[in-house]
Amino acid sequence: MPFYSPTGSTVPTWVTVTTPLTTAVWFGLGTTSTTTANNYIGPISTVTATTVTQTAYSNGLLAQQLWAANSQQQYAQQQYQNCLGGLGSLGALAAPALITHQEQAQRDQELYRRALAEHDDQEAGRLLRQIEARELAAADRQRLVEQQMQQNREDQQRRAAATDRARELLLEHLTPQQRETYVKNGWFVVEGGRTKTKYRIRGGTLVANIDVLDKRDRSMHRLCGHAQSHIPMGDQLLSQKIMLELAEDDFLRIANRHAA
Amino acid sequence: MHGTFNTMQIMDRTGHTSITWDPDKAVEVGVARDTFDKLIKEGYRAFKVEGQDNQGERMTAFDSKAGKIMMVPHLVGG
C-alpha cells in the first residue's frame, strides 16, 4: 500500500495502530509484538513486509508511544467524521479499520481544496496548519520509535557481550571435567563442600536447575536458588557452584526444594 | 603476596567486573576495600578462592592479601 509523503520523502511519517493496547502492554508486561515496516506500525499479524521486528514487552516506552499514537489516531478519526459529515457523499465513507497516512492526507487535501473553492481562506489556513502539525507530530513519533529501537539494539548488544563475559568467567573456574560436560551437555557436577553430596548444575534455565544426585547419579530432588535475573547465566551458574562448594549450608537454606 | 596483584571479580550485569590492586599501594587497596564493603552491604558474599575447583573460604572482612576474591551476588530461592 503506497504511503503519502508531502515532503517528497519515500518514508511516510504517519503511525497507525489498529488494535487497542491492553493495560498489561502499557506497563510493559504484555507480550504483544509490534512491527515497523516503512514507518508503518501495526500488529505483527497484519503486516507482512517486515523490515524490523521489535518486541514491546521489554520496555513500556514503545507501548506508551503506540498508545499515544492510538489515542491521537482515534481522535483524528473522530474529527474527520465530524468534518466529513457535512460533505455529502464523502460523509458516507465509513471509518476504515485502518487509515493510512495517504488516506488521511487525501481527506485533508479534499477538505482543503473545498475550502479554497469556497474561498474560505480561514478554513483553508486552519486545515493547512492542521496538516503541517500532524506531519510534525508524526515525525516526532517516528523519531521516538527509532530512538527506542536503537536503544533496544544497544541493550541487546550489551546483554550479548555480558553473556559472553560471564560464560568465560564460568569456564575459567571449572575443572577440565566440568568444562567438558558443560560445553558438551550444558551441565556440570559439583560436590558439596560439607556434605560431599553431588549436585548437577544445569545451564539454559534457572528454574530448579540444580539436581541433587544420589550415589547412582540419579536426581533425588531439585534446588532453585539464583541471583536477580539481570545477572547473566554464566555468573548465575558460577554463583551456585561457589556457594555449593564453599557455603553449602547457606545455599541449602536459601534454595527452594522441588520434586525431581 | 607483596608486590603482586590481587584480584576481585564481581559478578554483575556486565558479565563480571574485575578490580586489581597492589597490596603495597594504599590508594589501590583503599579502592578495593571500599568496593568490597559496598558490595557486602548490597548483599554480595565474598569468597577467597584458589584454583579451578574453588578451594577457598568465605570472607567477611576485606583482606588486601587475599589473592583472588570472588564476589557472589545475593541469591534468593526460586
Contacts of A70 (CB under 8 A, 6+ apart): A17, A20, A21
Q: What are phi and psi of A187, to 5 degrees?
A: -145, 165
What ranges do the domains of chain A cover? 23-164, 173-259
The interface predicted TM-score of the complex, written ipTM, equals 0.92
Report the C-alpha gap between A47 and A53 in whole angstroms: 11
Q: Which of A158, A154, A169 lies closest to A236 in space, CA to CA?
A: A169
What is the count of residue pairs from A and B with beta carbons less than 8 Å apart?
101
Q: List per-residue pLDDT tens for chain A, 260 residues long.
A: 444 444 444 444 444 434 444 444 344 444 334 433 344 443 433 333 333 334 444 445 445 555 555 566 666 566 555 555 444 444 444 455 566 777 887 888 888 889 899 888 888 999 889 888 888 888 899 999 999 999 999 999 999 999 999 999 999 999 999 999 999 999 999 999 999 999 999 998 889 999 999 999 999 999 999 998 889 999 999 999 999 999 999 999 999 999 98
pLDDT tens-place string over residues A38-83: 444 434 333 333 333 344 444 454 455 555 555 666 665 665 555 5
Burial of A174 from C-beta contacts in 10 A (0-12 / 13-18 / 19+):
buried
Asked if A244 contacts A251 with a C-beta cutoff of 8 angstroms, the reply is: yes
DSSP string, A92-108: GPPPPSS--HHHHHHHH
pTM above 0.80, yes or no: no
Cell of A81: 467524521
Asked if A232 contacts A163 with a C-beta cutoff of 8 angstroms, the reply is: yes
Do A227 and B75 make contact, defined as CB atoms within 8 angstroms?
A: yes
**DSSP for residue B29:** H
3-state helix, strand, coil in chain B (%, to 5): 20, 35, 40
Given B72, B73, B78, which is nearest A224 (Cβ)?
Answer: B78
Given B72, B77, B78, which is nearest A243 (Cβ)?
Answer: B72
Q: How far is CA A70 from the centre of its chain?
A: 17
Given A168, A224, A230, which is nearest B13 (Cβ)?
Answer: A230
Contacts of A230 in chain B (CB under 8 A): 13
Identify the residue among A229, A242, A243, A256 best suited for mutation to test binding to B, counting B beta carbons within 10 A and taking the highest: A242
B68-72/B6-10 β-pairing = parallel
How close, in Å, is residue A216 to chain B by CA atoms?
22
Do B11 and A254 make contact, defined as CB atoms within 8 angstroms?
A: no
Please indicate if any CB of chain B lies within 8 Å of the CB of A82. no
Share the mean pLDDT of chain B. 90
